[in-house]
Amino acid sequence: MTLSVQPHLAAVDAPPIWEAQGWIAGRTFPAQKPLIDVCQAVPGYPPADAQLDHMAAALRLPETHRYTEFGGIARLRDALAADINRSYASGGAVARENIFATAGCNQAFCLVASALAKAGDEIILPLPAYFNYTMWLQMTGVGVRHVPFRVEAHGVPDLSDIRAAITPRTKALVLISPNNPTGAIYAPNYLNAAFELCREAGIALVLDETYRDFLGCEGAPHALFQRGDWQDTLIHLYSFSKVFCLTGYRVGAIVADPKFLDEVGKEMDCVAICPPHIGQIGAAFGLEQLDEWRRVNSAKMSARLEAMRKAFVRGDLGYALVSSGAYFAYLKHPHAGRKSYDVAKRLAERQHVLALPGSIFGPDQDDYIRMAFANVEASAMDDIAARLAADAMDLSW
């Protein structure tokens, strides 16, 4: 007997990171031209020593190995509420009851999307769209409504396009800022206008700010938490994976109306009961003790971003930098008419640069590739640019 799989799941493509890594599986690379992996958004430095020491000590405590309370440990929820109130100047608008810990931001989105929309409903994902979010909606039968990619706006979607995409079946608009894959940063006034649009339409604004610690600028990312009505429309997603280098510990969070989180809790109890306890302890320590460490690493990422932008202005690059920010660079490749999958695979095979094809980020993205440079030193940016220039001049397909 052949096991059958439900058709929505069967129709979803394989995880693209796995596939891209398969292009280099089993290969060795020469010392004069080593592999430069800009495929996956992972920080290239370890967690703080003090954080590791704290987590190691916590492993000796019996309670660390038990389930946590509903919504996550109180210490983490209180620490994140305080961090948000400080970072967004929200005057205490976010409390412990507004925080729900999850096993990473991907799970946070899956829980939120499933709470908001059933099969046949729709959620708006502007192009280019983060592939895991698209995959989850597809496999659960929720319709994906795309908004056109505005190259001239460096990837920031047009609000009139968003308005036109709303139908009676629309349940939410999803925005990611800084954006994955483009790195685009949405200005505070833009996010307020998007909030108003969603409020008037009676849909949720799901705002993923996984990369907010790498904005590279001072001041609050937006003023939405300062609004007295924020809980009626805004659902905020966050991750501790990038800021504290805890990718393997799987800790993220949903920030929303407590009544909505009560419903999310039903899902979480069936899916995982709670995120890993030790990861929550590590994230809480980071929020409490590592402000300076966060600032240093944010500056490090800003330096890598600036080095990349400088390296990519060379006249023979061939690749055009469409948008960049936080961990990401979104590039238009020079091989007109070639599929981005083929371009990215050839780049890995011949130039030893592992990047992702634009096609995995939605329709009409075959002219682009994405690079995630968080694990690459600033000193390597000139080498990346040289390899891109070599690829642009290589006409042997």
pLDDT in tens, 90-137: 888 999 999 999 999 999 999 999 999 999 999 999 999 999 999 999
Using DSSP, how many helices (H) and how many strands (E) does the chain show?
A: 13, 13
Residue 23 lies in a domain: yes
Q: From 355, 333, 360, select the one nearest 345 (Cα to Cα).
A: 355
Question: Stretch 358-384: mean pLDDT, rounded?
Answer: 94
Query: Which of 37-46, 166-175, 196-205, 367-376 shows the lowest per-residue confidence on average (mean pLDDT)?
Result: 37-46
Judgement on whether residues 136 and 40 belong to the same structural domain of the protein: no
**In this predicted structure, what is the pLDDT of residue 90?**
86
Q: How many percent of the chain have pLDDT more than 70?
A: 100
Residue 2 lies in a domain: no
Among 242, 273, 292, give the residue marking a domain's end: 292
**In this predicted structure, what is the pLDDT of residue 368?**
97
At residue 87 the predicted structure's pLDDT band, cuts being 50, 70 and 90, is: very high
Question: Stretch 365-385: mean pLDDT, rounded?
Answer: 94
- Which amino acid is it at 199? R
Judgement on whether residues 196 and 58 belong to the same structural domain of the protein: yes
For residues 99 and 254, give the distance between their C-alpha atoms in angstroms, rounded to a whole number.
6
**In this predicted structure, what is the pLDDT of residue 386?**
96
Judgement on whether residues 274 and 328 belong to the same structural domain of the protein: no
**pLDDT value at 380 more than 80:** yes
Residue 314 lies in a domain: yes
Among 267, 292, 317, give the residue marking a domain's end: 292
Provide DSSP, 134-145: HHHHHHTTPEEE
**What is the tens place of the pLDDT at every residue in 155-213?**
899 999 999 999 999 999 999 999 999 999 999 999 999 999 999 999 999 999 999 99
Judgement on whether residues 244 and 298 belong to the same structural domain of the protein: no
Number of domains in the chain: 2
Judgement on whether residues 213 and 135 belong to the same structural domain of the protein: yes
Report the DSSP pairing between strands 252-255 and 234-239. antiparallel
Residue 350 lies in a domain: yes
CB 333 within 8 A of CB 346: no
Residue 249 lies in a domain: yes
Higher-pLDDT residue of 44, 229: 229
Q: How many percent of the chain have pLDDT more than 90?
A: 88
Judgement on whether residues 91 and 40 belong to the same structural domain of the protein: no
Judgement on whether residues 208 and 314 belong to the same structural domain of the protein: no
Q: From 222, 254, 225, 265, select the one nearest 93 (Cα to Cα).
A: 225
User: What's the CATH number where 38 sits?
Assistant: 3.90.1150.10
CB 173 within 8 A of CB 205: yes
**In this predicted structure, what is the pLDDT of residue 314?**
86
- Using left for φ > 0, alpha for ψ between -120 and 50, and beta otherwise, residue 155 falls in left
**In this predicted structure, what is the pLDDT of residue 155?**
87
Q: What sections of the chain are H helices per DSSP?
A: 7-10, 16-22, 49-58, 74-87, 104-116, 131-139, 159-165, 188-201, 258-271, 277-289, 291-311, 340-351, 381-393
Which pTM does this prediction carry? 0.95
Q: What is the mean pLDDT of the chain?
A: 94
Judgement on whether residues 126 and 188 belong to the same structural domain of the protein: yes
The domain of 338 spans 7-46+294-392
Among 244, 273, 292, give the residue marking a domain's end: 292
At residue 1 the predicted structure's pLDDT band, cuts being 50, 70 and 90, is: low
**In this predicted structure, what is the pLDDT of residue 50?**
96
Judgement on whether residues 129 and 77 belong to the same structural domain of the protein: yes
**In this predicted structure, what is the pLDDT of residue 395?**
81
- Strands lying side by side in the sheet with 234-239: 99-102, 252-255, 234-239, 204-208, 170-176, 122-126, 143-147
